[in-house]
Structure 1
Amino acid sequence: MGESAKTEETAALSVRALDDETWPAFARLVEANNGVWGGCWCVGFHVKLGKGRTAAENRAEKEQRVHEGRTHAALVFSDDECLGWCQFGSPEELPEVKSRRLYEKGLVTLPDWRITCFFTGKGLRGRGVANAALGGALAKIARLGGGTVEGYPEETDDRKVSGSFLHTGPMVAFENHGFTRTRPISPHRWVVTRTVAPA
């Protein structure tokens, strides 16, 4: 694919909020990808996922949160097809962070917002979905009042990394959007931060 075709394809992406209207497209993408990360349905940062918890329970939890306005995500669309997303929310909405012990050890103050996870559907990678989703999430955060935003991306360091390890996002995407590294919380994962002005 030539550079102009890549640009055209990226330009055709749009970002919408996860809400009652976009829930069916989101659900179709999750169902087409086996519930995402073993049936998580993108609730793993909302609640602790115990061994007995089923994919059906996770789906019901996510749908209820959508209907109640207690979950946020920037969904990336090509026409009416949802290709992927970036989840964001307040620490109260998304209390379950990875590497909690190291995270809390270096914690000075909680952020206003967390960007916790990314997902791009199978066969849809390489189209700029994560980048569009992150940009969309930051725009939505600005409209919601802005503030300090944290992310927890994986640094690949030229390592070949499975997509499942990149569910918190690749470092390059965050750095391209103006985040700076604050502190490491695992050998290859960092807390990154930036301030978003209100729109």
Structure 2
Amino acid sequence: MAEITIQAATPDRFDDIQHAFAGGGDGAGCQCVWWLLRAKDWDATTVDSRRDMFRAEVDAGPPPGLLAYIDGTPAAWVRVGPRTRQPRLAHTRNYAASPDPFDDPSVWAVSCFVVRREFRGQGLNRALLDAAVDFARDGGARVVEAYPIDVRVQKTSTNDLYHGALSTFEAAGFHEVARPKPHLSIVQRDLAG
């Protein structure tokens, strides 16, 4: 049985994060800064400038996400943090149905997963999600929000599942608060109780 360990995305793990990004999907190109930039600003960036922005974010702290290792090998990533630090969410029409104001710093968002191809199907998204909830709770979050895809409604490519699958969030105790599109859900988990 493989050993899964999860660590915060600290500066000393930057190269490990890059390894996790490089194994499939859009992580290597996106550098997980999509949610930090408005569309026009995103269009003006290159992969190198995105990597520099991401490095600056990781170096400045607090950690913008978590990194999963399988038997010591960097295998997967999740972005989690206060929704206010992911400004594109506030400017994306599909997420306007969120019941909480976007300037509420106690609402944290799980917005992106990356899993290397060779480690898919091993439950890493669920392990990262559980760790993200604990990380958010420890960081003072009142609510954790996410924007998963309902694959029962629409078949979705692996690259487009960076939001995560709705079934994973439901199994982790999240409940749907809005359905902006038939395949796109907004879910929350209340951490106050």
Q: Deviations over 1:23-56 (max 9, x none)?
A: 111112224448x357111110111353331100
Change (3 A) 1:26 1:37: closer
Match of 1:54 in 2: 46
Gaps of 5+ in 1: 1-7
Match of 2:5 in 1: 14
Give 1:109 deviation, angstroms: 2.6
1:151 aligns with 2:146: yes
How many residue pairs match? The answer is: 188
Change (3 A) 1:98 1:175: farther
Change (3 A) 1:170 1:99: farther
Distance 1:31 1:175 in 2: 28
1:138 aligns with 2:130: no
Change (3 A) 1:96 1:54: same
Distance 2:157 2:27 in 1: 12
Instruction: Tell me if the contact between 1:180 and 1:193 (Cα under 8 Å) persists in the aligned partners.
Output: yes
Give 1:99 deviation, angstroms: 8.1
SS at match of 1:167: helix
Matches within 5 A, 1:175-186: 175-186=170-181
TM-score using structure 2 length: 0.87
TM-score using structure 1 length: 0.85
Gaps of 5+ in 2: none
Same amino acid, percent of matched pairs: 23
Give 1:15 deviation, angstroms: 0.7
Match of 1:168 in 2: 163
Instruction: Tell me if the contact between 1:37 and 1:164 (Cα under 8 Å) persists in the aligned partners.
Output: no
Q: 1:44 aligns with which of 26, 34, 37?
A: 34
Distance 1:105 1:96 in 2: 14
Match of 1:187 in 2: 182
Give 1:188 deviation, angstroms: 0.6
Change (3 A) 1:107 1:142: closer
Instruction: Tell me if the contact between 2:20 and 2:77 (Cα under 8 Å) persists in the aligned partners.
Output: no
Q: 2:21 aligns with which of 21, 26, 30?
A: 30
**One-letter code aligned to 1:25:** D
Give the RMSD, CA atoms, in angstroms: 2.2
Match of 2:92 in 1: 100
Give 1:88 deviation, angstroms: 0.8
